[in-house]
Amino acid sequence: MTAPGSLDESALKELIAGELGAVRDRSLGLTTGALDEAELTAQVSPLMSPLVWDLAHVGNYEELWLLRAAAGIEPMRPEIDDLYDAFEHPRSERPSLPLLAPEEARAYIATVRSKVLDALDAVRFDPADPLTSGGFVYGMVVQHEHQHDETMLATHQLRKGAPALLDPPASPQAGAAAGAAGEVLIPAGTFEMGTSDDPWAYDNERPGHLVDLPSYYIDAEPVTNAAYIAFMEAGGYDDPSHWHPKGWEWRSEGGKRAPAFWSRDGGGEWLRRRFGRVEPVPPAEPVQHVSWYEADAYARWAGKRLPTEAEWEKAARWDPDAGRSRRFPWGDAYEPGRANLGQILHRPAEAGSFASGASAYGVRRMLGDVWEWTSSDFHGYPGFRSFPYKEYSEVFFGPGYKVLRGGSWATHPLAVRGTFRNWDYPIRRQIFTGFRCARSTEGAA
């Protein structure tokens, strides 16, 4: 995948048209097939929207930004703007709204897309206009739809009943690494965090700035199911000394004893439910569907801690030989086969997979597989400016949200990079979350 910043306007428009088509195929694939109208309009959990809301929402967002804002075209359906404004209606309310029915939603988003493609040739990517410069607003819309596709996958995971998604054909888990993962030492020093020149980066990734860190160790791979089971079997859920006080309260009130979607059979084997299938928990895969509180408790039990997001980003992006940060751990261009991204699997890959995607420090699988919790609260970088609307990032700044990094197997490659920042409440488990640990070198043997 070519980086958008390296293309002239004609080639960039060709890339945009192709990516618009690819993401729409993905969205439709998650809202057709085995699902009937009743399932598309149902709410499987108060945490999630009905699938049909997400489907129409991506089209409404596209109309707002690519037809009205970028192309100056009059509104098509202004009367539905309120229905699909995520800030006007929390997810718990959305099933009670007069939403477009599935066929009407599909027709609406198809008409929007047709008009967007018709208008694309006439739109100029003006370097003086931050909305269109480098095709930013188009990249924002494509990424937004991919993000909702990942949200729809989380809805599918929460859904009960017969499987509605087929596993992709077996995909080689490229470049397996031999030996135990262990830790990697990241030397002390300054690195550039964030970006000032990536044309499709969001406001919360900007601006690039220098951060000086002391040396630290970081896990070479995410924590596996086998390692997490060891924490569970050692009484990790029973010892409040491992838990943040609010985490212990959450664990106790909810009776949490294992990651979400896990259960135990009569013989004591741990099972998981994955898209309607019940299967043994694979010991070598990264643990998935754990909250920040669970990740933090495991790290304390292991004598470690969660990395800060600065520590995570330095380990992922900084090239000490070149003295600069990379866009991806392995380089500046996305290369298939280096990460478990884009639904090539419907699960994390086994430990040691995708070793060719290691960072300059040799830290592996920092993109894909599972979103990784960090210890950091979500905030703006020094010099942050909200763009193009404060509701994307700024309204979430503060101690209520923890930062996640790296994407998951469900994240599309176009919607993640080494600077990308996700955030959520520390109790969330329905998203495809895992973690790796870190520790300071001070006092280390």
Q: HEC profile for 279-328? A: EECCCCCECCCCCHHHHHHHHHHCCCECCCHHHHHHHHHEECCCCEECCE
Per-residue pLDDT, 176: 66
* Tens digits of residue pLDDT in 290-309: 999 999 999 999 999 999 99
Task: Give me the sheet containing 183-186, strands edge to edge.
Answer: 183-186, 216-219, 438-440
Identify the H or E element spanning 274: strand 270-274
If you average pLDDT over every residue of the chain, what do you get?
Answer: 95
Per-residue pLDDT, 443: 60
Identify the H or E element spanning 434: strand 433-434
Amino acid at 10: S
Average pLDDT over residues 383-399: 96
* Tens digits of residue pLDDT in 76-89: 999 999 999 999 99
Q: Are strands 371-378 and 433-434 parallel, antiparallel or unpaired?
A: parallel
> Has residue 444 got a pLDDT over 60?
no
Per-residue confidence band for 168, with pLDDT thresholds at 50, 70 and 90: confident
- Rounded to 5°, the CA angle 216-374-212 comes to 45
Cα(334)–Cα(420) distance, rounded to whole angstroms?
Answer: 14
Amino acid at 250: W
Is the bond preceding residue 329 a cis peptide, omega within 30 degrees? no
Per-residue pLDDT, 121: 94
Share of the chain above pLDDT 70, in %: 96
Cα(445)–Cα(442) distance, rounded to whole angstroms?
Answer: 9
Per-residue pLDDT, 14: 96
C-alpha dist (Å) from residue 368 to 150, 344, 345, 392, 432: 12, 11, 11, 23, 10
Q: Please choose, from the candidates 19, 318, 304, 7, the residue with its C-alpha nearest in 3D space to the C-alpha of residue 143.
A: 19
Average pLDDT over residues 105-127: 97
Cα(293)–Cα(425) distance, rounded to whole angstroms?
Answer: 10
Average pLDDT over residues 234-254: 97
Per-residue confidence band for 174, with pLDDT thresholds at 50, 70 and 90: low
pTM of the model: 0.95
Tell me how crowded residue 363 is: count the other CB atoms within 10 A of its CB: 23
> Has residue 177 got a pLDDT over 80?
no
Amino acid at 163: P
* Tens digits of residue pLDDT in 197-242: 999 999 999 999 999 999 999 999 999 999 999 999 999 999 999 9
Cα(1)–Cα(335) distance, rounded to whole angstroms?
Answer: 7
> Has residue 54 got a pLDDT over 70?
yes
Per-residue confidence band for 354, with pLDDT thresholds at 50, 70 and 90: very high
Cα(134)–Cα(59) distance, rounded to whole angstroms?
Answer: 22
User: Residue 440: helix, strand or coil by DSSP?
Assistant: strand
C-alpha dist (Å) from residue 303 to 295, 310, 439: 12, 20, 8
Per-residue pLDDT, 163: 87
Tell me how crowded residue 18 is: count the other CB atoms within 10 A of its CB: 11
Q: Which domains does the chain have, with CATH numbers?
A: 4-158 (1.20.120.450), 167-445 (3.90.1580.10)
The residues facing 378 across adjacent strands are 398
Q: Please choose, from the candidates 7, 242, 20, the residue with its C-alpha nearest in 3D space to the C-alpha of residue 109.
A: 20
Per-residue pLDDT, 445: 45
More confident residue, 32 or 339: 339
C-alpha dist (Å) from residue 162 to 28, 274, 277, 370: 19, 11, 8, 25
Distant-in-sequence, close-in-space partners of 231: CB < 8 Å, separation ≥ 6:
297, 298, 301, 302
Per-residue pLDDT, 136: 97
